[in-house]
Structure 1
Amino acid sequence: MTHVPASQVRTIVVGVDGSASSVAALQLAASLMPLAGEVIHAVAAWQQPFVLSPYTPMEWNYEEVSQRALDQALTDAFPDGGPAGLESRTVQGAPAPVLIEESKHASMVVVGSRGLGGFAGLLLGSVSSAVAERVSCPVLVSHGAPQIVEGQSVALPSTEASA
């Protein structure tokens, strides 16, 4: 077997925040592995707030909370175990810049969309639109919910054409 340098491995970067749409993004990325990548790199970004309110516990560990959310999303997406080539990690920083940086050596980025919509969505923007505007690889925004039936993952539709 030939060793492929890490920079040449086709990687799908998936932004994970613990939401149902990020669980769906993980499942979608897994279904795209035959076409777009040998590795899924699940990334959860975290950052400490700039201003702590008197009600924010000082001992709050944002990295640990992010790691728990990432672990739970992976369990929810792949109850029977993740696909071969699944890697995950947390990264300190705002979600959009972290995903933009992670995408530099990716073949694709997959993110979920919770869709604020309306006027609030226009004012606040979103991670998915920021990522789509600034990366050089394809970006897929998953608008669906996780495909779970009776606690089991359901295979997403095949990407192969019918004969």
Structure 2
Amino acid sequence: MTVTSGGRIVVGVDGSEPSLKALRWAARQAALTGDSLHAVITWEYPASWATAMPGVPQGFDPERLAKEILDESLAKALTPAEAAAVTRTVAAGNPSQILVEQAEGASLLVVGDRGHSGFKAAVLGSVSTNVAQHAPCPVVVVRGKVAER
């Protein structure tokens, strides 16, 4: 079997345990295939912010918070050497749409089975279901236990 390198694996991260599992799985897959790893986190302003949502601290920066969550997730799930090699993208917009766009030209898109949606009864989360239906490359939805590092 010949392993080709030079591809790119995109993984969706939101700080949730399922996304950390997906990140660990994607890092192991990238190590096996020689592909680079590209971690993506997204953020959106809630619709209620248009009417000056009370209780939001002045100067709150959701993009900065998303970057911090991504950095913390990489530090928690990967070795320092693995985390340093990861390309990082913080993007504003719908998570499913951004992940599908980022997966253009990728060899694989990896997501957890559920993220921070709050609807825990679903078999798969809305993002994982949506990207599985619309991604331009193969998709892996990581479920269940993944070995810790």
Among residues 10, 13, 36, which one is paired with 1:13 in the alignment? 10
Q: Specify every segment of 5 or more residues in structure 2 that has no aligned partner in the other structure, as ranges.
A: none
How many angstroms apart in 1 are the aligned matches of 2:84 and 2:105?
19
- Partner amino acid, structure 2, of 1:24: K
How many angstroms apart in 2 are the aligned matches of 1:37 and 1:94?
29
How many angstroms apart in 2 are the aligned matches of 1:133 and 1:74?
27
1:43-82 mapped onto 2 (5 Å cutoff): 43-52=40-49, 53-82=53-82
Shift in Å at residue 114 of structure 1? 2.4
1:45-124 mapped onto 2 (5 Å cutoff): 45-52=42-49, 53-82=53-82, 85-114=85-114, 116=119, 118=121, 121=122
Shift in Å at residue 79 of structure 1? 3.7
Shift in Å at residue 143 of structure 1? 1.3
Question: Which moves more between the two structures, 24-33 or 73-82?
Answer: 73-82
How many angstroms apart in 2 are the aligned matches of 1:83 and 1:75?
6
% identical aligned pairs: 37
- Partner amino acid, structure 2, of 1:139: V
- Partner amino acid, structure 1, of 2:141: V
How many angstroms apart in 2 are the aligned matches of 1:42 and 1:132?
17
Bigger Rg, structure 1 or 2:
1
In structure 2, the CA distance between the partners of 1:55 and 1:84, relative to structure 1 (3 Å rule), is closer
The one-character-per-residue Cα deviations of 1:90-131 (angstroms, maximum 9, x if unpaired) are 11111100001001111100001227454xx38x96100000
> Structure 1 length normalisation: TM-score?
0.75
- Partner amino acid, structure 1, of 2:56: T
How many angstroms apart in 1 are the aligned matches of 2:55 and 2:23?
34
Root-mean-square deviation (CA, aligned residues, Å) is 2.5
May I ask how many residue pairs the two structures share in their alignment?
139
Q: Per the alignment, in what secondary structure is the counterpart of residue 110 of structure 1?
A: strand
Q: Specify every segment of 5 or more residues in structure 1 that has no aligned partner in the other structure, as ranges.
A: 1-7, 154-163
> Structure 2 length normalisation: TM-score?
0.81
Among residues 30, 38, 41, which one is paired with 2:38 in the alignment? 41
2:130 matched to 1:130?
yes
